[in-house]
Amino acid sequence: MSSKQNFRDSGHRFFSLRSFIHLRPFGPAQLFTTSFLSIIVLGSLLLLLPKATYENISYVDALFTSTSAVCVTGLNVVYTELTFNLFGQVIILLLIQIGGLGIMTITTYFSYYFKGGSSYKSQLLVKDITSEERLDNVFSSLKNILLITIVIEGLGFLLIFATMGKEDFTFGERVFFSLFHAISGFCNAGFSTLSGSLYDIRIRFDYPVHLIISFLIIFGGLGFPIIHNIWKYITNNIKGLYKRVFRHEKYSYSSLVISVNSHIVIITTAILLIIGTIGFFIFEKEGVLTGYSSPFGKWTAAFFGSVTTRTAGFNSTDTAALSVPTALLFIVLMWIGASPASTGGGIKTSTLAVAFMNFMTLLKGKKRIEYRGREIPQQAVSRAFAQMTLAILFIMAITFLMIQIESGKEPLDLLFETVSAYGTVGLSRNVTPFLSNAGKWLIIVTMFVGRVSLYTLLSSMTKQVKYGKYRYPTEEILIN
């Protein structure tokens, strides 16, 4: 066969493959999943570099750390402070930032700038992230997301730097500590440059720093659509007030209101924070909170514990010493997690809220879920229960496997570890550093599945079916 014929055949195969790839559906779920996997693998290879660590680490430990960083979990099989040098910690920080912002957001920006514009299809893709109704607002929203992230993290950095204790850190250490924890806090990552996290004796009783990080976690856990909605609501009215006071222009109150989605998320978040804080204080006032001398210190630790359990993973108390009631409370809060399109994981606050509203609707004998003059669509209800069911089944399965593999450890501790990984929280009852390789792989899978959500992962592998122009007769099913 001539070289010309070989070239012709190779070209034919190449264009056939290109056509096959082009014609295959590659939706948001596939892009989201593939992007996360790619960054995790790249991150693990970077952490294996000799310049990133003080001593060589195994690939499974590097992969575990990379997965934990990209999935903004915070579980560690090695101590960040003792294992990774400054270069390695910078790599971890970059992985956290990428994972926190969302790979899809960054991927879309790359495709937008490299192609020199945005197609209708790419705008639809980003619309799913930003929750904008109009497509011409999509990329404007993404720019606002980046701006909001920079502003909040920058403000967090300045506040932490200004308030943290000066006697235990050099100037350079204070700068890096403040930057690292501002990003890790807003991204709900739970990584710390201190081996004991915020329970480290150098920072344990630095309550202003704890409170600053708490509010960074809360803002990151609210979700970008909610922050963006609130941002627009406040800025629009500030501009209107400025025009009315200084320019004497007529201005009516802004028609832009807090959306139903934002209202549900904010109310649910506030309720969970209050329940978590009071529950932690009651269950631990004779336990781990005895280490705090003042009432302010006890309530700050209780508040921080409630906040960080909702997917952040920092600890200002000894998690392994928590009582069984507190551990069970934490498991529930970790399972719920943060809000949609946020830097956190879990089944999400809106999922819990929709499920609760559906329960109350059924009790009242109503057929529709109504909230603040709006009707919640049935698709949202179905998806909420699917998310909750899949999460429970997956956690049960992984916990069962963990009990079989890590037979020498307490089942409650292994359940705590599994839920922490699935909710991308990062709290551990001193289990993570002592996991076997098989246990590490299970937690790696759990962190990844928890970050991308099992529902998204399954939908990315399932062919979407369109209904035909027919309906079957309905038949009642006995439920109770």
Q: Rounded to whole angstroms, what are the CA distances from 233 to 101, 136, 149, 227, 429?
A: 22, 19, 17, 10, 42
The encoded tokens of residue 137 equal 């607002």
Nearest-angstrom CA–CA distance, 223 and 130: 10
Q: Rounded to whole angstroms, what are the CA distances from 192 to 56, 164, 200, 235?
A: 20, 15, 10, 34
Nearest-angstrom CA–CA distance, 463 and 480: 33
Locate the domains of the chain by residue range.
29-460
CA 267 to chain centre: 19
Nearest-angstrom CA–CA distance, 187 and 135: 27
Beta-ladder partners of 84: 53
Per-residue confidence of the chain (480 residues) as pLDDT tens digits? 554 455 455 445 444 444 444 434 455 567 777 888 999 999 999 999 999 999 999 999 999 999 999 999 999 999 999 999 999 999 999 999 998 887 656 655 555 555 555 554 455 455 554 545 555 555 676 777 788 889 999 999 999 999 987 667 889 999 999 999 999 999 999 999 998 889 988 899 999 999 999 999 999 998 887 887 887 778 777 877 777 777 777 665 555 577 888 889 999 999 999 999 999 999 999 999 998 989 999 999 999 999 999 888 899 999 999 999 999 999 999 999 998 878 888 999 999 999 999 999 989 888 889 888 888 888 889 889 999 999 999 999 999 999 999 988 999 999 999 999 999 999 999 999 999 999 999 999 999 999 888 877 787 677 666 666 777 888 878 776
Spatial CA neighbour of 141 closest among 125, 126, 124, 119: 126
- Give yes or no for a contact between 121 and 208, defined as CB atoms under 8 angstroms apart: no
The encoded tokens of residue 345 equal 């994981």
Q: How far apart are the first and last CA of the chain?
A: 73
- Give yes or no for a contact between 30 and 464, defined as CB atoms under 8 angstroms apart: no
Neighbours of 438 (CB within 10 A): 14
Q: Rounded to whole angstroms, what are the CA distances from 133 to 200, 223, 376, 399?
A: 46, 17, 16, 40
Burial label for 307, CB within 10 Å (0-12, 13-18, 19+), is buried
CA dihedral for 193, 194, 195, 196, sign (positive or negative): negative
The encoded tokens of residue 330 equal 């934490």
Q: What is the pTM of this model?
A: 0.85
- Give yes or no for a contact between 33 and 457, defined as CB atoms under 8 angstroms apart: yes
